[in-house]
Amino acid sequence: MKQTIKTVILLTIASLIMITGCKENNALLQEWDTPYGIPPFDKFKTADYLPAIQVGIKEQNKEIEDIVNNPEAPNFDNTIGAYELSGITLNKVMGVLGNVAETDADEALRAVEEEATAILTEHNDNIFMNKKFYERVKSIYDADQSHLTREQQMVLKKMYQTFSRNGVGLEGAEQEELKEINKKLAATQQKFSNNLLAENNEFKEQFGIPVSSYSDAMTNTEDRALREKMFKAYSSRGNNDNENNNKALCLEILKLRAKKAKLLGFENWAAYQLDVKMAKNAQTVDEFLERIIAPAISRAKEEIYDMQKVMDKDIKEGKVEKGSKIEPWDWFYYAEKVRKEKFDLDENLTKPYFLMDNVRDGIFKAANKVYGINVEPIENAPVYNKEVKVFKVSDHDGSLLGIFLTDYFPRSSKRGGAWMNNFRDQYIDKDGNDVRPIIVNVGNMNPATDSLPALITIDNVETTFHEFGHALHGLLTKCRYRSVSGTSVTRDFVETFSQFNENWAFQPEILAMYATHYKTGEVIPDSLVQKINLSRTFNQGFMTTELAAASILDMKLHVLNSEQLEGIDLEKFEKEVCDNMGLISEIIPRYKTTYFNHIFNSGYSAGYYGYLWSEVLDKDAFEFFEQQGIYNKSIADSFRATFLEKGGSEEPMVLYEKFRGAQPNPDAMLKARGLIK
């Protein structure tokens, strides 16, 4: 039945392409007479997207044709700069579709997204396999670059790499083979994501809670049999005997990536991905993760010992069967009991101080205190869902920095997790205007219930600050070119600034500005603040182990070549990887293969280690703040100017050493997590 519906939708859309191509009939193609150019979401129809994409592609193809056929000698402005200013309509349309399809999609819109993905993959291939275009770029890249600004040099380097990494050097049949691989990859990755969304919705149907509330439910559910049932359902997503099974799709994606890497001259997909990252190669990543997981597992074993003592009391009281040992489904529940014992900290006591709206205002107040920026609501702004809120972000001098949207609560039309994305990028347009970004933070925080407002956990608070760190990176950027503005940096650098922003969440001065009791308005007491901060390194054995384990799994999957992937059993392979890393049976990787969306459809393949890698930079940078005074304006201004404004306009380590005056201390993260002294 689903396939029939999808077929009808696509046939309907195809016919609409023929009759609704005119700009006056398509709101996506018109000028948006809205505050600050916010998309007028209520005017868009599902049938508008594909015709608008086709118009955008046609426009950009003409722009590229003009670049390629320009009789003047190639230079930065008439080739690289001209390309940077191309595709305005296409970027505008995809800024809307790419975000709404992730957050508020029905079946019809998901069908459109699948079709659009295939069309755009082909369009991208046509651009970056265009040999005449490449020859112009190469001639500029090979020439003296000393007259270019550093930002222009980085834009040029990125574009040259994009051509070479997209197979422009391949001939005939090999280039056609790569195009076919890219099409299949795009479709298969989208199918993986759609299957996972269906599995997440099934989990909610079964247990009455969204996947995003899983850890909270596991913490508070006394019924051990129910916890086991929830754990098994959660950890088997995408691996059940139903139409949403992702195992074959995962293998297909891995095989296609390995084949693509080989075509492009790389040993495996990890080598291809890491070639343009800070880490550079898999050996460096392996050594980095080995250094982390050993002390993490050691600490996790201590945590199990503490939890087992609490479980033994429950056994004596007849609450748990005799001979019971801590299992994966016991971790959240008994970790919370240990935390209550060790720190006298109960999340049921902290939640009343973390009303979602107040936490959101807290991230704004923290940004004002640290960077001097101001955030104010925009009333009656267009939104794609009634739960979305819109804000204007201004600098200390009143100048516009950008528009910020929040979308914090789960729904069946939204994929799981939390993220930041752009509806519009920052860049300088052809008339010299600074186009400011429109950015969204999306989450799946604990929603309001019939009896309580949206009160969130300590972890949710950190997540909110984390995603706003990404937003700050996008909002504060001051680049000329779209390809390096904002968060357009390497994957193992981009998480530095989101994780850095977490450091402000529980500073006493910041908490006093936003953590007030939802009933009484009382500011969170100092005694509770102290308990929160004392407990920050609690359970870090578990947290670090599951994160490092997922990072190792990601890397081990992507160092496999085509031959090694033939006939492989991914479930068995995953178990072997976990055994080889010494993973204890009480912990599973944060994401198992069949629901590892980060690496199968979110750009983190052979890159999930980046969270830990970036945390080294983040913790080392914050240590510098602590040494100089965490509200030291000159240090904050330096951090903003060196990192948040620069985007990808300089090499990451050059920026870091400029700010810190030295390379980062690799132990900074382990110390911050309490894993070493």
C-alpha triplet 37, 42, 48: angle, nearest 5°:
90
Percent of residues in the chain assigned helix, strand, coil, to nearest 5: 60, 5, 35
- Is 467 one of the annotated active-site residues of the chain? yes
Please report the sign of the dihedral spanned by the C-alpha atoms of residue 595, residue 599, residue 604, residue 608: positive
Alpha helix positions (H), 69-171 = 82-84, 88-103, 107-128, 131-142, 150-165
Residue type, 237: R
How would DSSP label each residue in 316-348? Answer: HTTSS-TT----GGGHHHHHHHHHHHHH---HH
**Pairwise CA distance, residues 39 & 32, whole Å:** 7
| CA pair distance 542, 588, nearest whole angstrom | 10
Q: Write the single-letter amino acid at 331.
A: W
DSSP states of 644-661 as a string? ITTTTSS-HHHHHHHHHS
Which residue in this structure is represented by tokens 């056609």? 176
Say which of 467, 502, 574, 615 is annotated catalytic.
Answer: 467
DSSP strand pairing (389-394 vs 374-377): antiparallel
Helix (H) or strand (E) holding 460: helix 458-475
- In 3-state terms, what secondary structure has residue 426? coil
**Considering only CA atoms, which of 393, 408, 358 is closest in space to residue 472?**
393
Direct distance between the N- and C-terminal alpha carbons of the chain, in angstroms, rounded to an integer? 59
**Residues recognised as catalytic:** 467
